[in-house]
Structure 1
Amino acid sequence: MRSIVLTKGVPDFSEGAVSFDEDGHLERGKTPTVMNPNDEVAVQAALQTKVRHGGHVSGMSMGPPGYSDVLKGAMETVYTDDSYLLSDRELAASDTWATAITLSAGLETYQEEIEDIDLVFAGFKTADGETGQTGPQTAWAMDWPIVTHVLALDIDPDERRLRAKRLVEGDVDEIETVEAPLPCFVVTDPEFEPSYRTASHRLTHKQLRAETTDRAADHDEHLTTWDHEDLHLDSEYIGLDGSPTIVSSVDPIPKAPSERDATMIDPDDGDELRTVLEEFQPYAAEAGE
């Protein structure tokens, strides 16, 4: 079973990690990059497939050279076997359409140079764009079937079919069971949770974790980088030139209002420390009741 997981690096939006300029615009150069949280779910789904059916899982990302750290993170945490980075200046400023064209070229190149692919996993949406379009657009470019909002899945290797439970949102949320032939795309729902039901599955999972430790420490040896020429892409159809999306304006992110006042004290000042103690004593008394 040969699987590819599409991953993306996004700004770390955790408290204290994001950097903004004085106008409230995100400063990407000063904000750490992490794996898109929904992509972590997709990688877990690929790992579950590998544990149950064996095979090989590769991580693939399109972005600047720094995205290699995101791919290394996938290897460290969910045990991908190797990594593929699609990267050069011609790919910069791609919208979802140009990104999908590039990713599909990466998948086709993988099949030509490495091996045929059975499954491609993608996250539900990215934390910085939230369009949810890249996975479906890439599946369209490959002309492969796609199953979205996947909550659980398994594979019949002999029949080469995927069976999945997917969430259907509406006035009343429903779960439906669907089947699709391989190769196909899987877009995981954020509620997907991997399941290792048997002792052999859990043992395999443990073994994979041990095998990956040394591989991740030497990630560069397992990283392949392809530029647009390697992918046989025309620069007119990728990057900014190949992106039909027009951004009419960008609004600054408003600064969050302060929810409480802070009083600074000198830890060497006994009177100030006594004031703090007096402030907390009523709460200590309540806790003891």
Structure 2
Amino acid sequence: MEGTVRSIVLTKGVPDFSEGAVSFDEDGHLERGKTPTVMNPNDEVALRAALQTRVRHGGHVSGMSMGPPGYGDVLREAMESVYTDDNYLLSDRELAASDTWATAITLSAGLETYQAEVGDIDLVFAGFKTADGETGQTGPQTAWAMDWPIVTHVVALEVDPDERRLRAKRLVEGDVDEIETVEAPLPCFVITDPEFEPSYRQASHRLTRKRLREETRERAADHDDHLTTWNHEDLNLDPDYIGLDGSPTIVSSVDPIPKAPSEREATMVDPTDADAMDDVLEELRPHAAGTSDHATEAGD
């Protein structure tokens, strides 16, 4: 549509690595079934970039993820937090155990199916890397599979829908961090850098964002009505080239995740040991009475 931008944001669910949420087995390996799944933090940055583009130029934003049915909750979060219009989940057993290459092949098929059934895509946004894999390969590999240009480490962007051009500032890290400005034709991929910050300087943009937030609350409440799930047959994918069979990555070994060290030293005390309990009381007495060394000195 002339003058507007249709965007897709690639998202992924990752284990919640916050303190107390992660479950490990006795060998220190992550137990995914017992650890909550949340949206990959870097994908939230990509979503904010897509929202900024939507606010400035109008159009449509869709979320897309590949994973088990539970990833629908991750896509719901995308709708609630950055107001996606609809979401697409690529999910079935044939896609399980995909490495980044097989994931990129599946995502590219999802994008092609979207274009055939929904509409032409102008921009595909993806996060810098995932919190669990840390490879940063899926976005670029998907762009390669689509044969579209890609701009990485984007910290700011402008889109000219009529001229079909993207102008972006990207962070170049080296001995000294530099910012370079690049241009690319649409459609293209945008890999956002964690340093990306959306900008809403115009009052009209802030009002549009507020309106989108209000509209989304009702839509998110009925998220399942706005979620489309495609399996490998819907995407016309050969099982030999997806999932574990289509993943060339060979993992030679896996190191246990180190457990976080305790921040405090603890002394175990047997409550039946009278002498030990007397020591505990002596330690607590000044604090309980409000007469710590500093308080005593102040009173003197």
The interval holding the TM-score normalised by the smaller chain is over 0.9
Find the counterpart in structure 2 of residue 134 from structure 1.
138
Which of the residues 202, 207, 212 maps onto 1:208?
212
Residues 165 and 287 from structure 1, CA distance in 2 versus in 1: closer, same or farther, beyond 3 angstroms?
farther
Provide the rounded CA distance (Å) in 1 between the counterparts of 2:164 and 2:92: 36
Find the counterpart in structure 2 of residue 259 from structure 1.
263
Find the counterpart in structure 1 of residue 149 from structure 2.
145
Find the counterpart in structure 2 of residue 106 from structure 1.
110
Letter in 1 for 2:21: A
Find the counterpart in structure 2 of residue 76 from structure 1.
80
Note if 1:93 corresponds to 2:122: no
Which of the residues 144, 163, 177 maps onto 2:167?
163
Find the counterpart in structure 1 of residue 188 from structure 2.
184
Letter in 1 for 2:252: S
Q: Please give the per-residue CA displacement for 1:145-192, whole angstroms capped at 9, x wherever unaligned.
A: 000000000101111100000001111111000000000000000000
Q: Please give the per-residue CA displacement for 1:24-65, whole angstroms capped at 9, x wherever unaligned.
A: 000000000000000000000000000000000000000000
Residues 287 and 201 from structure 1, CA distance in 2 versus in 1: closer, same or farther, beyond 3 angstroms?
farther
Residues 285 and 112 from structure 1, CA distance in 2 versus in 1: closer, same or farther, beyond 3 angstroms?
farther
Letter in 1 for 2:30: L
Which of the residues 171, 174, 177 maps onto 1:173?
177
Where 2:70 maps in the other structure, the secondary structure is: helix
Which of the residues 38, 50, 55 maps onto 1:51?
55
Percentage of identical aligned residues: 85
Find the counterpart in structure 2 of residue 278 from structure 1.
286
Structure 2 stretches of 5 or more lacking a match? 272-276
Letter in 1 for 2:222: D
Instruction: Give the deviation of 1:287 after TM superposition.
Output: 10
Greater alpha carbon shift after TM alignment, 272-281 vs 40-49: 272-281
Which of the residues 61, 64, 74 maps onto 1:60?
64
Instruction: Give the deviation of 1:262 after TM superposition.
Output: 3.7
Letter in 1 for 2:247: S
Where 1:4 maps in the other structure, the secondary structure is: strand
Find the counterpart in structure 1 of residue 39 from structure 2.
35
Instruction: Give the deviation of 1:259 after TM superposition.
Output: 2.8
Letter in 2 for 1:250: V
Residues 282 and 194 from structure 1, CA distance in 2 versus in 1: closer, same or farther, beyond 3 angstroms?
farther
Residues 274 and 77 from structure 1, CA distance in 2 versus in 1: closer, same or farther, beyond 3 angstroms?
farther
Q: Please give the per-residue CA displacement for 1:76-106, whole angstroms capped at 9, x wherever unaligned.
A: 0111010000000000000000000000000
Where 1:209 maps in the other structure, the secondary structure is: helix
**What root-mean-square deviation, in Å, do the aligned CA atoms of Structure 1 and Structure 2 show?**
2.2
Provide the rounded CA distance (Å) in 1 between the counterparts of 2:294 and 2:104: 57
Instruction: Give the deviation of 1:239 after TM superposition.
Output: 0.2
Give 1 or 2 for the bigger CA radius of gyration.
2
TM-score scaled by length of structure 1: 0.94
Q: Please give the per-residue CA displacement for 1:119-147, whole angstroms capped at 9, x wherever unaligned.
A: 00000000000000000000000000000
Which of the residues 17, 24, 31 maps onto 2:21?
17
Instruction: Give the deviation of 1:274 after TM superposition.
Output: 7.5
Letter in 1 for 2:250: I
Provide the rounded CA distance (Å) in 2 between the counterparts of 1:49 and 1:165: 15
Which of the residues 226, 230, 233 maps onto 2:234?
230
Provide the rounded CA distance (Å) in 2 between the counterparts of 1:257 and 1:108: 47
TM-score scaled by length of structure 2: 0.91
* Paired residues, number: 286
Structure 1 stretches of 5 or more lacking a match? none
